Structure 1
Amino acid sequence: MSVDVRAVTESDFSDWLRALQTGFLRPPHVPDGLLADRLANSDLTRTLAAYDRDRIVATFRSFRQEVSTVGGGSLTADAVTQVTVSPTHRRQGLLSRMMSVDLAAAKERGDAIATLIAAEYPIYGRYGFGPVSWATAWSVDVSRAGLDPRRTGRPEDGGLIELTDGDEIRKIGPALHRRLAGVRAGVTDRTTRGWELGTGLGYQIDPWKEPFYAVYRSASGEAEGFVAYSADDKWDDAKQPGNTASVRDLIAVTPAAERALWQYVCSIDWITTVRSGYRAPDDLLPLLLPDPRAAKTLTHVDMLWVRVLDVVRLLESRTYPVEGSLVLDLRDAAGLAGGRYRLDVSPAGAACVRTTESADLALDIAELGTLAFGDESAVRLTRLGRVEELTPGAGARADLLFRTSLRPFSPDIF
């Protein structure tokens, strides 16, 4: 019998969750609390399943999301998540069918882009997705960092570090997160429920362990950043501490806040190692240490992936540092956003229209998102063979228009 792809019903949702758990290699049992929480926070019209007779053998869900663009703009996105295919039904095209249904609906709704966090790198390029942000995690050996052993953790700029709790973070965090989106592209919005789950409220899949929270306030008293971190409890046989502080969340909207929060975490008594968690690759952390070699790179990995659905809205949503123009010939095998477009930009704004003019660059739609968020070089992609330069020097011209001084950062996994 053929496998049917359709939206799930409330009566099927428990089976859908069981298939999801199975696909992610988690215990397939679905606790009542998990079922109630997920059902209350899922749009069933955007929750797809593949049915082999009465059994759900693949899962797929999407939800509305806002994503920051270069210069502080934002776009409405179709955020794709919870994608699985059961081991018994791999390589049968089920993901392709579910993705096709979802992207067509997103295009019909008017979403400018689709987004996801890829569990495996090779899967999503064939659907027009490309990585637009990367994340780096470091482990800092505090004893080798060269920090003054008399350091106190107090900011030297007249600011203040205050220990606080989850209640305070829920009050000040959302505004700081929105300010971060104003200076970094690739930041996805964090809902009220997201803040609650991140501070211990609501249904928790894993047992909740409250972290330590610290807020940085400038000399004027304004909150400009916070950090949430946990610590273990390890001592050696000579009664010397060997504890690790693991940063769970750090949002800083000014360089002063970023410096002060890292200096604070690296100054805590008994902490000999600091694990940074996922950070922007151009985070200040390694270079603010007197000896940056004390920060060992643990991972450097792709984070947010974007699939362009509306070329005009994407390219007009961001700012550009200089005046210039490009004609882009975009290939899109799915037929959702391809064609030839002329982009005219200046620091005052941008205009993007369809055109029949000769193209300067030819590229797949997946590469456009990568360029538009400012983290990739058209010259590099040309050398890789992923962009075709049809007008000499067009790649370098594209870099002048698209590249950004701050790399995109996506602090949240969804």
Structure 2
Amino acid sequence: MTAEIRPIAPAEAVDFLRIVPSYAGTPNWEPEPAAWHAGVGLTSRFGRAAGHDELLAAAAGMSDLDRTRAAFVDGRLVGTSQVLSLEVTVPGAGPVAMGGVTAVGVLPTHRRRGLLRAMMRAMLDDCRRRGEALAGLSAAEGGIYGRYGFGPATYTARWELDTRGLHPVDRQGHLELVDVQTASAAWPALHDTVRRTRIGEVSAYPGRWDGGEPRGRQFLLHYDDTGAVDGAATYRTPWSPDQATAGTVEVEWLEAVSAGAYTDLWSFLTSLDLTRRVVAAKRPIDEAFRWQLADPRALRITRQSDDLWLRLVDLPAALSNRNYQTYGTLVIEVADPFCPWNEGRWQLDGGPQGAHCRRARAGAAPDLSLDASTLAAAYLGGTALGPLAAAGRVQEHTSGALARATAMLTQPQAPRNAIGF
């Protein structure tokens, strides 16, 4: 077997997309009502394997082919991967460059041959050359990417709300139902404003806001007193023959710049006529709306899962690029066999105004030791070090170091990523 990992040529784009799971029609592994999404669906954006004409259209719209890394065995394309040039918002410092790993797939006939490992090696090396201190991905399976130094850094929830007995709230702005074109035109600027202040959020990739077919979706925009869009939501009210799921509002997307827009949008969605249940997908695990309910038990989490997985490609740059809740100094010993340039002992000096990370002086004793995937999980401040230490993932060598590191890293709100890629 002769294997080669390289970017694809334009003429190879259709063959590339045939392997990508989102075009291949891979079934979703969780059926309703447990699924993270609001309703039944397939992983494929078409609800089935994409046809040839759809593949041709998608291939024509592909960009950054130089960031694809495909696996060829004896000249045949059998594995796919790509890196998107994105940004992710980190604590205190705003957006920083991140390589978004996506479109990862290997033909079933060619698995267990090291092709994924070779493609991951090529992608992370590319991120490092481009100065991207972080890489991120949305994991289809949770057991794959820890071996490459990725850790789950944000979590997402699916919740249900019984709307019977809820009281309407006086609205503070203006709401309009709009068509898909109007919504698609408003979303980019709205998300760009929101993501710059929300830890864990990523920039949109090319084509993210293409509306496509509405398929029963309703598009809702919220306007402030000046007429500017400061909130948006997408929802459906599908017919169901089943009494248990009839009268359901499925909220697929909701973003707001202000607390008033956030409240107005949820007030509208929870007071629609002839409905009695709201199901919301891809929501933050610390959803603020719960605390606006007279009965917080009316909202219950029905699914929670990891969302954005991070990887520190350049460890000292990544730790220096974010701010910390309190001032402190730590010597951290990191194990990172897949990216050995990150291995060793590092001194971190950080606080609310900035940070600096450098190689620890020779002979410096570590305060904490952990591996790369554990550090990535804690990087955005959403995963506390205490449970990681209890699980044996963090070792404390200096008394009080775990508490000091926790105080430095942990954030007041859970990081959130609303865009998968």
Aligned pairs for 1:2-401 within 5 A: 2-20=2-20, 21-22=23-24, 24=26, 30-71=51-92, 73-143=94-164, 146-148=165-167, 151=168, 154-155=170-171, 158-191=172-205, 193-195=207-209, 197=210, 199-200=211-212, 207-209=213-215, 211-219=217-225, 221-234=227-240, 242-334=246-338, 335-356=340-361, 357-401=364-408
CA distance in 2, matches of 1:316, 1:222: 36
Deviation at 1:408, TM superposition (A): 0.7
CA distance in 2, matches of 1:227, 1:267: 15
Deviation at 1:79, TM superposition (A): 0.9
Deviates more, 1:125-134 or 1:282-291: 282-291
Deviation at 1:353, TM superposition (A): 1.7
Paired residue type of 1:88: T
Q: 1:235 to 1:291 in 2, by over 3 A?
A: farther
Q: How many residues align?
A: 397
The residue that corresponds to 2:37 in the other structure is none
Q: TM-score, normalised by structure 2?
A: 0.87
CA distance in 1, matches of 2:156, 2:407: 24
CA distance in 1, matches of 2:99, 2:272: 41
SS at match of 2:207: helix
The residue that corresponds to 1:204 in the other structure is none
SS at match of 1:344: strand
CA distance in 1, matches of 2:204, 2:304: 23
- Tell me how large the CA RMSD over aligned residues is: 2.4
SS at match of 1:187: coil
Q: 1:338 to 1:24 in 2, by over 3 A?
A: farther
Is the 2:24–2:50 contact (alpha carbons within 8 Å) kept by the matching residues of 1? no
The residue that corresponds to 2:31 in the other structure is none
Q: 1:216 to 1:401 in 2, by over 3 A?
A: same
Q: 1:328 to 1:267 in 2, by over 3 A?
A: same
CA distance in 1, matches of 2:404, 2:193: 30
SS at match of 1:35: helix
Is the 2:149–2:376 contact (alpha carbons within 8 Å) kept by the matching residues of 1? no
Deviation at 1:51, TM superposition (A): 2.2
Is the 2:88–2:202 contact (alpha carbons within 8 Å) kept by the matching residues of 1? yes
Is the 2:249–2:279 contact (alpha carbons within 8 Å) kept by the matching residues of 1? yes
CA distance in 1, matches of 2:138, 2:408: 27
Is the 2:92–2:352 contact (alpha carbons within 8 Å) kept by the matching residues of 1? no
SS at match of 2:301: strand
Is the 2:94–2:197 contact (alpha carbons within 8 Å) kept by the matching residues of 1? no
Deviates more, 1:95-104 or 1:21-30: 21-30
Q: TM-score, normalised by structure 1?
A: 0.88
Q: Map Cα deviations across residues 53-92 of structure 1 (whole Å, 9 max, x no partner).
A: 2432221121211111112511211111111121112211
Q: Map Cα deviations across residues 214-255 of structure 1 (whole Å, 9 max, x no partner).
A: 233345655332111111135889xxx932111121002233
Paired residue type of 2:6: R
Is the 2:183–2:220 contact (alpha carbons within 8 Å) kept by the matching residues of 1? no
Of 399, 409, 412, which aligns to 1:405?
Answer: 412
SS at match of 1:314: helix
CA distance in 2, matches of 1:349, 1:400: 15
Is the 1:229–1:246 contact (alpha carbons within 8 Å) kept by the matching residues of 2? yes
Paired residue type of 1:18: R
The residue that corresponds to 1:203 in the other structure is none
Is the 2:284–2:414 contact (alpha carbons within 8 Å) kept by the matching residues of 1? yes
SS at match of 2:113: coil
Is the 2:157–2:301 contact (alpha carbons within 8 Å) kept by the matching residues of 1? yes
Q: Which runs of 5 or more residues in structure 1 are unaligned? A: 201-206
Is the 2:284–2:416 contact (alpha carbons within 8 Å) kept by the matching residues of 1? yes
Paired residue type of 1:78: G
Is the 1:184–1:407 contact (alpha carbons within 8 Å) kept by the matching residues of 2? no
Deviates more, 1:18-27 or 1:324-333: 18-27
CA distance in 1, matches of 2:54, 2:335: 45
Q: 1:165 to 1:11 in 2, by over 3 A?
A: closer
